Structure 1
Amino acid sequence: MDISTYVLLSHEQALRRRLDIAANNMANSETAGFRREAPVFHEYVETMEGPPPREAPRDARATRFVQDYRARLDTRSGAFQPTGNPLDIMIDGPGWLAVHDAGGETAYTRAGFLKVSEAGELVTSGGAKVLDEGGQPIAIPPDALPTLAIAPDGTLSAQTGPLGRIGVTVFEDDSALSQRGDGLMAGSGGRSLGANETRIRSGGVEGSNVQPISETTELIDILRSYQSSMAISKAIDDLRRDAIGRLGRIG
C-alpha cells in the first residue's frame, strides 16, 4: 500500500473509535451517574527522508496520521432524579463514591442507588460496599434501619446517633479514571473530601449526562465521514487502475 492508503486507514480507525464511544454513550443515556465520554486524538507526523535522488519532495516529506490518544470524561453533572428512597443520593458537585467490589478492589461510581445488605453494610444496587471517609465499609445496626437519614455532608445517622460519613473522592484530573465495563470506574491518586467540601442530595440519584440528540448527531457525522472515506478510497483505486493500464499500454 502507498502512503495515501495508510493515511486513509488511520482516519478510518479513528472513526471506528468515535463510533464505539458514541454507541456506548447512547446505550447509557438512561444509566444513573453515567458520564459521557469523548475521544481524544493526536496528530502523528511521519517525516519522509532519504538520500538523493530518492529524497521525497519537500511538500510531501511530512505525512500526518491520526493516532488514538484516550477518551476523556464529560464532567458536567446529570439531572437530579427523585426516587423517594432516603438512602438514594446524588453528589451535588465534583467527586465519586468510593466502593469495594466483590474482589475487595477499590472502584468509583456516581450511581447513588444505595441499600443495606443482609450483612448490615451500606452497599450499591450492585452489591459493592460503600466506603466512609476513612476507606472502610459502613456498618448499619439492625435497629437503625427505620430511622436512617443522610445529611448534606454525607453523614449517615439514625435515631441512635451518627453511624459514619459517606466518603466522596475527587481527582485532579478525571481522565485518571477509566471504565471497567461493570458500571464502575477504576482510578488512583484521589483525595477524600472533608465534610465542609461535600454536598450530597438524598432521596434521588444523578441521571446520565448524555444528550441523546447530540449523540445521534455524532453518529450521523461519523456515517458521513465513513462515506467520504470510502469515496476517497475508490478514487485512489481508480487512479491506480488508470496508472497500471497506461503502463501496460506503454509496455
Structure 2
Amino acid sequence: MIDALYISSTGLRSQQEQIDVISNNVANMQTPGFKRGRVNFAEVASSPMSGDAQLSGVSHGGGTRVASVSQEFASGAMQPTRGPLDLAIDGNGFFELEDANGNRFYTRSGRFHLDDQGYLAAVNGMRLSAGLQVPQGASDILVSAAGELSALLEGGEERTVLGNVELALFTTTEGLESTGDNLYRAGSRSGGAVMAIAGEGGSGRLQQHYLEAANVDMIDEMTGLVLAQRAYQLNARVLQASDQVLETINNLRR
C-alpha cells in the first residue's frame, strides 16, 4: 500500500506536467513560428517483488516520471500578412538573432521591423546576427526567396542590394534548447549552427509578407488534455483508495 501511494504521486506529478505543456501549446496557437511542446515519459526504476515473485525475476513498476519536454519542429501553415518585413521560412532553417551581449539565439518567428538605427530586429528587440541595416529614407524594401535584401534609396532610381538574410541549420533540431519567448539556442546534441543561403542545403526559401503559423492542432491538444485529466483523476483515486486501506489496517491494529 505504501508503494501505491508513491506510484500514484508520480502519476499525479507527471500528468500535471502534461497538462501544463498542453496549456502552453494552446495559449501560443496565435504565436508566429511557435513549436508545440511534447512530454516524454519514462518508467521509474522498478524494484523486485518479494517471495516467489522475487525468485522468478518478476518485478513491478515504480511509477512514471517526465524524462524531458521536447519541441516538435514540424512546419506550420504559411499565413499572408500586410507586414513589409514579415518573413516565413519554407524549409528547415532558423533565423539567427543576436542580443546586446553577443549571444546567439534561433527562432522560426519572422516578424521583423526596423529599429531606431535601421537594423532588422525581431519583436523582442534582438537584431539579425548578419547586422542588416536599411538606410534612413529608403523605400520599397524587398526580400527575395534567396534572402537578398534590397531597397530604393532616397534620391535613387535603381534598387540597391543591402545584404542577405542567411538561415541557420543544425545537425538535429532535437538537441536545441528552448530558452522561452519562442527562442532556442544550440545544445550539445544539436551541434553548432551552420549558416546557409536561403534555399540551399534544405534551409528553405523565404516568403516575404508571410508568417509561419504555430504548428499546434487544437483537436490533438484537446484530445491530449482529456486523456491527461482522466489519468490524473485515476491516479488521484488510487491515492485515495490506498489511504482508505491504510486507515482500515491502522484501525484493525487498535
Q: 1:30-109 maps to which residues of 2 (within 5 A)?
A: 30-48=30-48, 58=56, 61-109=59-107
Question: Does 2:164 match 1:171?
Answer: no
* Structural RMSD (CA): 2.4
Q: Is the 8 A contact 2:165 2:198 kept in 1?
A: no
Letter in 1 for 2:183: L
Residue 107 (structure 1) shift: 0.8
**Pairing 1:216–2:222 present:** yes
Report the Cα distance in structure 1 between the residues aligned to 2:81 and 2:244, rounded to whole angstroms: 60
Match of 2:135 in 1: 141
Asked if the contact 2:147–2:166 (Cα under 8 Å) also holds between the matched residues in 1, the reply is yes
Amino acid of the residue matched to residue 22 of structure 1?
I
- What SS does the corresponding residue of 1:180 show, helix, strand or coil? strand
Q: How many residues align?
A: 241
Aligned partners of 1:131 and 1:166 also within 8 Å: no
- One of 150, 172, 186 as aligned partner of 2:143: 150
Name the structure with the higher helix share: 1
CA distance in 1, matches of 2:27, 2:199: 36
Distance 1:101 1:210, change over 3 A: same
More off after superposition, 157-166 vs 203-212: 157-166
Give the letter aligned to residue 98 of structure 2. H
TM norm structure 2: 0.85
Q: Percent of pairs identical after alignment?
A: 27
Structure 1 gap segments, 5+ residues each: none
- Determine the structure 1 residue equivalent to 2:233: 227
Most deviating of 181-190 and 76-85 = 181-190
Contact map agreement 2:104 2:129 (CA 8 A) in 1: no
- Counterpart Cα distance in 2 of 1:212 and 1:109: 22
Is there any run of 5+ residues in structure 2 with no aligned partner, and where? 153-158
Post-superposition shift, 1:167? 1.9
